[in-house]
Amino acid sequence: GYFYLTKSPHKKSYSPIPDFRIEPGFVGVDHYRLNLELKKVLDRRILYMELAKDVEQELKEFEKLPGTEKLGNLGSQVRQRLGINDAELASLSYEKVYPYWKGKIEDDGVLVYESQYIPDVSGVLGAAIYYDVCPIILVKRGSKHNARKLFTLLHEYAHLLHGESAINDASSQTVRVRGAGKKGVEAACNGLAAEILIPSDKFDAAEYAELNSVEKMEHLAESFKVTYTAAAVCLRRNELISESEF
């Protein structure tokens, strides 16, 4: 049989997204499979927006941060924006924490996609593609990467809050909290991601004074339902672990 459309279907196309940020000297980013996964999410965004138009669903504009805020209580402000309920979050099992945050970020107008086909050789864990409406987050899925998915999700969301597109490899999540240039951008997003997951105004440093570095990470991760990656960034930001321990 044949199906006839009232108008020609969307012509798929792909052009590189500007302002992708990686560590200097990083090898393998131009892997064809990675480019294909980026192309897929770009096409899905267009289809989503077309369907939304067809059913008269209003698409809200994504609200960037003004750029004048200091971290301070910014984490709590963003959590309020997302509708994060502390008691509700605390009651969740670990396997339900990531879907909880993912759903909240999607409710904020972000299209969040996951892919197990991002090649390991690319080193890429996630990407953020900024648009005023329906910005995109892409997160690498896979058993050995699942422990990092939550922090990757918030790291990419931090890029969007800054109005930036970015592609991030594993080193972007371990870059020091202080830096300059591109490293400074990644450090800032690490800091904001950690601040959202563990707000400074909800964090009591006195609880951690007598603990060793491992105990500090375990206690913080349990208290806020975060990974050791997020806990380490928070502890380093508050100077509760040394540079070498980080």
Phi-psi category of 64—alpha, beta or left, where left has phi over 0 and alpha has psi -120 to 50?
Answer: beta
User: What DSSP assignment string belongs to 157-193?
Assistant: HHHHHTT--EEEEGGGGTS-SS--HHHHHHHHHHHHH
Please tell me the predicted confidence (pLDDT) of residue 12. Answer: 54
pLDDT tens figures, 11-49: 655 444 433 333 333 333 567 788 889 999 999 999 999
Beta bridge partners of 139: 114, 126
Chain centre distance of CA 222: 20
pLDDT tens figures, 62-94: 999 986 566 667 899 999 999 999 999 989 988
Q: Residue 9: pLDDT above 70? A: no
Residue 107 has which token pair? 């409710």
> What's 205's DSSP letter?
G
